[in-house]
Chains A and B, each alone.
Chain A
Amino acid sequence: MLRRALPALVLASSVALIATACAPSTGEAGPSSEPQDGGTLVYATGDAEPTCLDPHVGGNYPQALISSQYLEPLVGRDADGAITPWLAEEWEVSEDGLTWDFTLQGDVSFTDGTPLDAEAVKANIEHLQDPETASSTGYLAVSKIAEVEVVDDTHARMHLSEPDSALLESLSMPWTAIQSPAGIARGMEENCAAPIGTGPFVVEEWVPQQQITLTRNDDYATAGPQTENQGAAHLDEIVWRFIPDAATRQAALTSGEVHVIDNPQPDAIVAAEQGDEITHIDAPRPGSVNRIELNAGQAPFDDARVREAFIRAADPNPGIEALYLGTVTRSYSPLGSSEPMAVSDESLFATDPEQANALLDEAGWTEKDEDGIRMKDGERLTVRFPVSTNQSVAAEQSLFEQIQANVAEVGFDVELSPVDLSTWYGVLGANEYEAVSAPYTRVGAEVLRVLYHSDAIVPAPSGYFANHAQLSDPELDALLDEASATQDESARADLYAQAQQRVLESFTVLPLYDQQNHFLTRGVTGVTTLGTVATPTFVDARIAG
């Protein structure tokens, strides 16, 4: 059998060799001529294709990515995390924090001609809160708004049920962006297919599984905080393509089929940094970092000593270096590095297997079975770790395997189970996990409240709860509640700092690195990202000639 196959194998490999040898070894010279106006930019995303282009419905990251091109929020957020005017020129909050007055930019229209006025703001908040919309992210963001009062055309007054210091951050997110009320009134099906906003581009056509065509809004006049260009975009149109496979996306970029890709692989980022043909944009997402959370709600991690032992033994640094090829930086904070209020404490995460062993002995896990797994009262020290293969890239899954091997040295039995996203949520909802890694993107330190307030242990009716660490600490709750209610920025920063320190010291969280947003571009200049959830914007973009 093998002898017969041999000539063929030789032939096949020589064909492959010849083909590789024919390939231009240095690569063609990158496009070097002057950038020009007009033209079509092709963007290839590795994120899922949205099922609805209106980010009010549901509310996930793929929707944020694309809707940033045609919808704009009331306020923006610059690269330093400061809130800036956008569709709202200015705002004022009452002493008790319960009434917010927003002044809108005058003379702005949606691309269907509907004026942007206080009525439109009211219609949008009501749309987010309407059960028929089935909103999740946006719904949570505006949950404290009791009513929007139309004072006059350019003045909208929001009445809150309780003070919300994160309101501006909530209103800066793509999931609460403002759409034409006339567009919303068309009904969900039509609005999902082509939402109408004030953004630099307009949804022209959506061919499912293939592409969305966006054409320039010639009357664009509401430039956000991150763009130089104050008028209409330079590009004629954007073709937004869905290319799920990372290697195919990369090949499409190298071969010139597309200009921008997201979710590149680490080796492609390193190659881009070394060459000059491809440009790398590193835009960490706000909110939480990528981290492992330990379920403090049940044995064995209801014992802080066992949690600390796990964290002391995990030793993720060599794995992060090797697997991500230096494209990510280790984090020691529950918050991403783009959050101005993030607090880091490296000292809590020093690797120390000896201390880990001592802690486990102290906690009563003294026996060992024949596999070297620690035992206590006949129970093995087992950690169930479900991994969502839809959210975790290959490198991250390998990192988890390395951590599994590292903690096995001190007697943990980590059961990694790769599952699809729905199964993953099901396992979490049924409390069948001891460790988990769950990304969460949200603008501002308020994400701490979403993730670590004891209220967030109670599952939403859909079965989801965000406090996977199942931290139930009244003092932490008090700090988070107070931070939510206070209007004083420095007091707020101080409260969030104390809250983060408590979270870190609880040893329920092993921070790993920023939630990554990397983009590679080729043959295009002027691509920037927004300071909110790091989605790209193309108002300044020009195709190289």
Chain B
Amino acid sequence: MRWIAGRIGSAVLVVWIVATAVFFALRASGDPLEAILGGPGSQAGPEAVAQAREEYGLDQPLILQYLTQLWRVATFQLGDSYARRQPVADLIAAQLPGTLLLAALALLLAWALALAGSAIAATARGPVGRAAVGVVRGLELVATVMPQFWLGAVLILVFAASLRILPATSGGADPAGLILPVVTLAIPIAGFLAQLSRDALQEADRAPFATTARSRGASESRVLLHHTLRHASLPALSLSGWAFGHLLSGAVVVESLFARPGLGRLLLDAALSRDVPVVIGAVVVVALLYVLVVTIVDAVELLVDPRLRRPRAAHAAERTPELAVGS
């Protein structure tokens, strides 16, 4: 119960901080009136300007506008877009599923790649195995440092422009369009997750319970699937929340690059045109999603690792020696 209350408290805090930061950042760098009057540099007539100022409450003191905006967020009335004149909630609702699908598929692929890489590294034996481990480690490193924009551009050049086997853009009915954006998003995350899970897997592989299992005659694959992989997934799992946040921000780049509709592009367009309600709405939704995912990840961790369910002191005492054995 206290756990849930803490989660709600931190969610409220996160939303308040991002809404405040976004409001003042946008107001400090430009007049939102431009968005209302058809974009920057608008030369609309004096009457149109005055009318819009009044209609959108922009003639009020800034602090009042801020409090109004905050009240709207608190009551989850996101208001209307300045530029599109549609409810912000509708705009977000239309773009959210696409981005969630993209992020979820990318996370799944990242996980699959990371676990496959770790499994190769952990089970490899002999000179060929060592070479394979070297390759996996190198790939992880390269994947982790690869800029998404560059990676996406290279994939487009190779698979769309040269080989012509995959579409360069995504978003239509063709599911093939999803392949390149998902791969672009997944690879850097996969590299990161793989580094973590590989270390944990090797650790677990040398742990007493693995030795015990082997001594009972369990095959290598049984040891991997039933015993060690679960351990290997823990550190990576706890970082999946972080990874998901990373995917949502990566979506801004990937959605623009692959001309894919989504929350990232909505946010980017709105920020460029000072469409304050859309930016605040989108950022608040992203922040809430992030908190939600982190909470889910924590809950899943509790399920996977029974030790976490016990009181903290006992768990710490139990965990430390076990990890020490392997090293």
| Interface contact A134-B139, CB-CB below 8 Å | no
- CB interface residues, B 223-271, toward A, < 8 Å: 256-259, 261-262, 265-266, 269
Contacts A8-B137, A247-B157, A248-B168 given: A210-B261 contact, CB under 8 Å?
yes
* Contact pattern, B 182-218, Cβ under 8 Å of A = 1, otherwise 0: 0000000000000000000000000000000000000
Tell me, in angstroms, the Cα distance from A139 to B266 when the chains sit together.
29
Residues of A within 8 A of B138 (CB): 4-9, 11
Taking CB as reference atom, which chain A residue is nearest B138?
Answer: A8
Contacts A136-B42, A426-B30, A464-B42 given: A252-B169 contact, CB under 8 Å?
yes
| Interface contact A422-B137, CB-CB below 8 Å | no
Number of A-B contacts (CB under 8 A): 213
Q: Is B50 an interface residue (CB 8 A)?
A: yes
State which of A20, A460, A463 has its C-beta within 8 Å of the C-beta of B158.
A20
Residues of B within 8 A of A250 (CB): 161
A: number of interface residues (CB 8 Å): 71
Q: Is B283 an interface residue (CB 8 A)?
A: no
State which of A20, A59, A140, A209 has its C-beta within 8 Å of the C-beta of B38.
A59
Instruction: Give, as a whole number of angstroms, the nearest-CB distance from A314 to chain B.
Output: 25
Tell me, in angstroms, the Cα distance from A198 to B142 when the chains sit together.
56
| Interface contact A135-B85, CB-CB below 8 Å | no
With most chain B CB atoms within 10 A of its CB, the pick from A210, A421, A466 is A210
Residues of B within 8 A of A137 (CB): 43
| Interface contact B272-A461, CB-CB below 8 Å | no
Q: Is A22 an interface residue (CB 8 A)?
A: yes
Residues of A within 8 A of B85 (CB): 52, 188-189, 192
| Interface contact B141-A462, CB-CB below 8 Å | no
| Interface contact A251-B160, CB-CB below 8 Å | yes
Taking CB as reference atom, which chain B residue is nearest A4?
Answer: B137
Instruction: Give, as a whole number of angstroms, the nearest-CB distance from B271 to chain A.
Output: 8
Instruction: Give, as a whole number of angstroms, the nearest-CB distance from A135 to chain B.
Output: 7
| Interface contact A460-B257, CB-CB below 8 Å | no
Taking CB as reference atom, which chain B residue is nearest A139?
Answer: B45
Residues of B within 8 A of A211 (CB): 172
Instruction: Give, as a whole number of angstroms, the nearest-CB distance from B188 to chain A.
Output: 14
Tell me, in angstroms, the Cα distance from A27 to B49 when the chains sit together.
54
Q: Is B65 an interface residue (CB 8 A)?
A: no
With most chain B CB atoms within 10 A of its CB, the pick from A11, A51, A192, A242 is A51
| Interface contact B160-A134, CB-CB below 8 Å | no
- CB interface residues, B 123-165, toward A, < 8 Å: 131, 134-135, 137-139, 141-142, 153-154, 156-158, 160-164
| Interface contact A245-B137, CB-CB below 8 Å | no
* Contact stretch, chosen from A162-170, A253-261, A518-526: A253-261
Tell me, in angstroms, the Cα distance from A466 to B41 when the chains sit together.
9
| Interface contact A57-B41, CB-CB below 8 Å | no
Taking CB as reference atom, which chain B residue is nearest A438?
Answer: B41
| Interface contact A422-B273, CB-CB below 8 Å | yes
With most chain B CB atoms within 10 A of its CB, the pick from A57, A243, A422 is A422
State which of A49, A59, A132, A255 has its C-beta within 8 Å of the C-beta of B161.
A255
State which of A7, A23, A256, A462 has its C-beta within 8 Å of the C-beta of B134.
A7
Tell me, in angstroms, the Cα distance from A513 to B26 when the chains sit together.
34
Tell me, in angstroms, the Cα distance from A243 to B256 when the chains sit together.
7
Residues of B within 8 A of A11 (CB): 135, 138-139
Tell me, in angstroms, the Cα distance from A118 to B161 when the chains sit together.
51
State which of A135, A140, A257 has its C-beta within 8 Å of the C-beta of B168.
A257
Q: Is A423 an interface residue (CB 8 A)?
A: yes
Contacts A131-B48, A135-B48 given: A254-B161 contact, CB under 8 Å?
yes
Q: Is A91 an interface residue (CB 8 A)?
A: no
Tell me, in angstroms, the Cα distance from A134 to B43 when the chains sit together.
9
Tell me, in angstroms, the Cα distance from A7 to B154 when the chains sit together.
20
Residues of B within 8 A of A393 (CB): none
Contacts A49-B269, A422-B29, A422-B30 given: A8-B142 contact, CB under 8 Å?
yes
| Interface contact A58-B30, CB-CB below 8 Å | no
| Interface contact A425-B40, CB-CB below 8 Å | yes
Q: Is A29 an interface residue (CB 8 A)?
A: no
| Interface contact A461-B49, CB-CB below 8 Å | yes
| Interface contact A57-B38, CB-CB below 8 Å | yes
Q: Is B86 an interface residue (CB 8 A)?
A: yes
Residues of A within 8 A of B157 (CB): 247, 251
Residues of A within 8 A of B257 (CB): 245, 248
Residues of B within 8 A of A461 (CB): 44-46, 49-50
Contacts A11-B139, A255-B164 given: A243-B86 contact, CB under 8 Å?
no
| Interface contact B163-A242, CB-CB below 8 Å | no
Tell me, in angstroms, the Cα distance from A536 to B142 when the chains sit together.
44
| Interface contact B142-A244, CB-CB below 8 Å | no
| Interface contact A255-B167, CB-CB below 8 Å | yes
Residues of A within 8 A of B167 (CB): 252, 255, 257
* Contact pattern, A 383-424, Cβ under 8 Å of B = 1, otherwise 0: 000000010000000000000000000000000000011111
Residues of B within 8 A of A421 (CB): 40-41, 272
Q: Is A60 an interface residue (CB 8 A)?
A: yes
| Interface contact B169-A422, CB-CB below 8 Å | no
Taking CB as reference atom, which chain A residue is nearest B149?
Answer: A245
| Interface contact B36-A134, CB-CB below 8 Å | yes
Q: Is A16 an interface residue (CB 8 A)?
A: yes
Tell me, in angstroms, the Cα distance from A180 to B30 when the chains sit together.
35
Taking CB as reference atom, which chain B residue is nearest A15?
Answer: B158
Q: Is B20 an interface residue (CB 8 A)?
A: no
State which of B48, B86, B168, B172 has its C-beta within 8 Å of the C-beta of A251.
B168
Tell me, in angstroms, the Cα distance from A11 to B140 when the chains sit together.
13
Contacts A210-B171, A248-B169, A250-B161 given: A241-B37 contact, CB under 8 Å?
no
Contacts A135-B44, A208-B91 given: A19-B158 contact, CB under 8 Å?
yes
Residues of A within 8 A of B153 (CB): 245, 247-248
Tell me, in angstroms, the Cα distance from A257 to B159 when the chains sit together.
13
| Interface contact B86-A189, CB-CB below 8 Å | yes
Residues of B within 8 A of A22 (CB): 162-163
Residues of B within 8 A of A189 (CB): 85-86
Residues of A within 8 A of B51 (CB): 131-132
Residues of B within 8 A of A255 (CB): 160-161, 164, 167-168
Q: Is B39 an interface residue (CB 8 A)?
A: yes
Q: Is B316 an interface residue (CB 8 A)?
A: no
* Contact pattern, A 205-221, Cβ under 8 Å of B = 1, otherwise 0: 00111110000000000
| Interface contact A19-B272, CB-CB below 8 Å | no
Instruction: Give, as a whole number of angstroms, the nearest-CB distance from A245 to chain B.
Output: 5
Could you pull out 13 A-B pairs where Cβ atoms are within 8 angstroms?
A: A8-B141, A19-B158, A23-B158, A28-B164, A51-B273, A58-B39, A59-B38, A132-B51, A135-B45, A139-B44, A242-B259, A257-B168, A420-B29
Nearest 4 CB-CB pairings of A with B: A58-B38, A8-B138, A23-B162, A422-B30
Apart from A8-B139, A139-B45, list 11 A-B contacts with CB within 8 A: A8-B134, A135-B45, A136-B43, A208-B261, A209-B261, A209-B266, A252-B169, A254-B160, A425-B40, A426-B29, A462-B43
Contacts from B to A (Cβ < 8 Å): 29-31, 33-34, 36-52, 83-86, 91, 94-95, 131, 134-135, 137-139, 141-142, 153-154, 156-158, 160-164, 167-169, 171-172, 256-259, 261-262, 265-266, 269, 272-274
